[in-house]
A and B are shown apart, each in its own frame.
Chain A
Amino acid sequence: MQRIGVFVCWCGSNIAGTVDVKQVAKALESEPGVVFSTDYQYMCSKSGQDMIKDAVRDHRLTGIVVCSCSPRMHEATFRKTASAAGLNPYMVEIANVREQCSWVHKDIIIGTQKAIILGRAAVAKVNLNAPLTPGESPVTKRALVIGGGIAGIQTALDIADAGFEVDIVEKKPTIGGKMAQLDKTFPTLDCAACILTPKMVDAAQHEKIRIFSYSEVSSVGGFVGNFTVSIRKKARYVNEDICTGCGACVDKCPMKKVPNEFNLGMDNRRAIYIPFAQAVPKVATIDPNACNMLKNGKCGVCAKVCTAGAIDYTQKDEYIEEKYGAIVVATGFDPISLDKFDEYAYNNSKDVITSLEFERLTNAAGPTQGKLLRPSDGKHPEKIVFVQCVGSRCSSCSEKGKEYCSKICCMYTAKHAMLTRDKYPDTEVYVFYIDVRTPGKSFDEFYRRAVEDYGVKYIKGSVGKIVPEGEKLVVQGSDLLNNRQVVIDADLVVLAAAIEPDKSARPLATMLTASMDTNDFFTEAHPKLRPVESPTAGVFLSGACQGPKDIPETVSQASAAAAKVIGLLSKDKLVGNPCVASSDELMCNGCSSCERVCPYGAITYEDKEFRMPDRTVRVRRVAKVNPAVCQGCGCCTVACPSGAMDLRGFKNDQIMAEVDAICK
């Protein structure tokens, strides 16, 4: 029999205002097992906690019930108190009489009655509580960063600088991500490559960082501190260790008409290629869908010209299994597909381009060497129209676009408009906008410079239709401030397409059991207080995979995620959750029902010897739960047909006792 102490908190007037705490304490005094019952103004305060400690000692308590605020608030506090008083921390139960009683019920009689019932249920549960000891698990002091954009690179560099080994997995042949495609960056207009490529080189040369480029995560197992990740190194048909990146193979490759994805298909690359001059690792990759040798065995030019002998047409995908303590997701974003936006004629005219394509057009390393030329005829555009919020803030058109604001478009459009006017002052530049959103350091000043110093014409209103007519693009839009319709015969139209999470994020989230919101952005453990952690322990978020972000924000979040990872990896062992499933071997009949429903693969089977009453030994197959892997959902307990499986801390008889107490 337990010796239970009941402590009813007033929480100032928060509880005492609508619950007669004295009456609650008195009523619970006569419950089975209760030997002591009292009330106090603030149980969570030091004197309140001392009161609990004293009572544990004076009344030799074995269990504690605190009638107070939500266990989500102070369960940990009172468990620590119990622990300090020499009691097992899991002998504490909280009756939630604030959030779920005093705050929602105005009548003191009703509130008091309900508080007594909730207290009674907690007492009934504590009567059946058993001391629990959390298991400890070691921490593999290595981190995995998925995605090699600026977010992934920054996170990896910060973790590596703290002395831990980091692996970066990047699906493309080079790291660098979207930032490598950009020309200049707002609001300072420094060139993206000048600030990114040194970081890429730093990452490649760091002794603690390994880069798996052209690789993908194929499976994730394990749990915080002990992840096992299988990485698929896609065959690039070039031996990375031997290739010097000289580019001789690229020059000689006869397959010249492969759309270059780095320039968004605006020019061509060869079947064997290096994405861009500063690629890291700078090694060639063969595109198996374009290479004649790989498709029908006729060619082999690259192998002939490669003096290093790096070409290997027989290369196969390679699977590498690695162990990590923490995983950082940095999968980034992509512009949305504009296939559903027929009104903007994106698919009908070469001169309607996205902002990312515009970035490549103005980039010195781009298809036009930085000259702003129309993709259709290579002429210089005299009139450019920028359309903002293409697919962003689509509250009424969510089947086409996204409901959220993509956050970066206002600023990069101002940048594009400004740079265009700066390079080509004779060009007329119009921007159609819903609102201009510039909340950031030096952002609004930047936008005003575009309008005031560079004479960019901003028109508040949306574009209804873009019709290609001859060489021109007729842009029909509305000017809300002047209350009139406008028609502009533009030479080039740039659409600020909304951004969405990378397509690889959803399957990755499933592998990591990390949750996502309806837009496939990863959700954070807490939107304000734990913004760089996923709710799944050991999984951290960096960059635009968590929500639209510009570069400064991405870098700050990347460093924040790194700090969290470093905090985790500096621990020698992790204390687990003791509220896990356990199986009664004597009752288990080895049917595998529990194994099938377990989302974590925590249940395995083993053959165990049982000594029978007639002194013979029988071998039976029984379930065994790995407490380090089990997360304590309890799904198996319901699936178990024989009742052998139970969940510590929420045992069948404990919940039954609560039901009984409530229905008394």
Chain B
Amino acid sequence: MQVNEYKPLIVAFCCNWCSYAGADLAGNNRADYPAEVKIIRVPCSCRVNPTFVLKAFQRGADGVIICGCHPGDCHYTSGNYYTRRRMAMLFSMLDYLGIERERTRLEWVSAAEGAKFAATMRDFVQKVAALGENKRLEDLRCKK
């Protein structure tokens, strides 16, 4: 292991019914993905308030990914449609503020897609790592 190798900090919001179960399945199948990804369980992707994403960037996260059920499969019928609209808006606003598009992502991962979860996370971490640290929105007072 290299010392001082840059490791991005990734916050993943996963809905309880599809994507969190997909992440569990990735574990069951021992599908490797970078440890930089830290998962927060939410009941539905529509529970993710844009302020949570902003908070993560403020706190120094380098990338935020939100995973939900595939369109049409939401456990709560329509939650992921709200997520899709809200996040389209938020991500474009963040882009305007200088948080590159590659740092934010919305992905549909079903409970059966352990392999997709792992592949998505690998890809996302790689893309964010290529961008380097998030400096734009970070609140330096939060740094120790």
Which residues of A are at the interface with B, using a C-beta cutoff of 8 A? 70-72, 96, 98-101, 103-107, 109-111, 113-114, 117-118, 121, 513, 515-516, 535, 579, 597, 599-600, 631-635, 637-639, 647, 650, 652, 655-656, 658-660, 662-664
Contacts and interface: CB of A to CB of B under 8 A. Distances in A.
Contacts of B48: 638
A111 B35 contact: yes
Interface in B1-55: 1, 9, 11, 16-17, 20-21, 23-28, 30-33, 35, 38-44, 46-52, 55
Interface residues of B, number: 48
A113 B37 CA distance: 12
Contact of A513 (B40, B46, B59, B77): B77
A450 B17 CA distance: 47
Given A114-B35, A647-B43, A515 B20 contact: no
Given A100-B23, A635-B79, 5 more contacts: A99-B26, A101-B35, A655-B42, A656-B52, A659-B59
11 contacts: A96-B41, A101-B35, A104-B32, A106-B32, A631-B76, A634-B43, A635-B76, A638-B86, A650-B47, A659-B11, A663-B60
A638 B47 contact: yes
Given A118-B38, A599-B76, A633 B28 contact: no
A513 B75 CA distance: 8
Nearest to A510: B77
Contacts of A635: 44, 46-47, 76, 78-79, 82
Given A72-B21, A117-B38, A663 B43 contact: no
A449 B75 CA distance: 47
A659 B27 contact: no
B24 A72 contact: yes
A104 B78 contact: no
B52 A663 contact: no
A650 B32 contact: no
Given A99-B24, A659-B56, A597 B82 contact: yes
B61 interface: yes
A634 B59 contact: no
A466 to B, nearest CB: 37
Contacts of A650: 42-43, 47
B136 to A, nearest CB: 15
A236 to B, nearest CB: 34
B35 A72 contact: no
A647 B16 CA distance: 14
Interface in B46-93: 46-52, 55-56, 59-61, 72-73, 75-79, 82, 86
A86 B76 CA distance: 33
B109 interface: no
The 4 closest A-B pairs by CB, nearest first: A99-B27, A634-B47, A663-B59, A633-B76
Contacts of B118: 104
A515 B76 contact: no
Contact of A105 (B1, B35, B42): B35
A638 B49 contact: yes
Contacts of B41: 71, 96
A98 B28 CA distance: 9
B55 to A, nearest CB: 5
A96 B72 CA distance: 28
A188 B41 CA distance: 53
A103 B27 contact: yes
A637 B47 CA distance: 7
B40 A633 contact: no
B82 A72 contact: no
Contacts of A647: 43, 47
The A contact surface, by secondary structure, is helix
Given A650-B42, A660-B59, A662-B38, A638 B50 contact: yes
A247 B78 CA distance: 49
A104 B27 contact: yes
Contacts of B20: 70, 72
Nearest to B28: A99
Given A599-B78, A599-B79, A663 B9 contact: yes
Contacts of A113: 35
Contacts of B72: 515-516
Nearest to A640: B49
Contacts of A106: 32
A482 B40 CA distance: 60
A473 B43 CA distance: 59
A106 B31 CA distance: 11
B76 A121 contact: no
A166 B74 CA distance: 30
A104 B42 contact: no
Contacts of B73: 515
A663 B56 contact: yes
B11 A662 contact: yes
Nearest to A105: B35
A197 to B, nearest CB: 39
B1 A579 contact: no
A44 to B, nearest CB: 16
Q: Which of A98, A109, A111, A599 has the most CB of B within 10 A?
A: A599
Contact of A656 (B28, B47, B50, B55): B55
A98 to B, nearest CB: 7
A96 B39 contact: yes
Contact of A634 (B44, B55, B56): B44
Contacts of B76: 513, 599-600, 631, 633, 635
Contacts of A516: 72
Nearest to B50: A638
A104 B30 contact: yes
A550 to B, nearest CB: 26
Contacts of A655: 40, 42, 47, 49, 52
B35 A662 contact: no
Nearest to A658: B40
A509 to B, nearest CB: 10
B32 to A, nearest CB: 6
Nearest to B13: A655
B7 to A, nearest CB: 9
Given A104-B30, A104-B118, A114-B35, A99 B23 contact: yes
Contact of A109 (B1, B24, B31): B1
A184 B46 CA distance: 52
A633 B79 contact: yes
Nearest to A125: B40
Contacts of B82: 597, 635, 638-639
Contacts of B35: 101, 104-105, 107, 110-111, 113-114
Nearest to A518: B72
Contacts of A656: 51-52, 55
A429 B17 CA distance: 51
A655 to B, nearest CB: 6
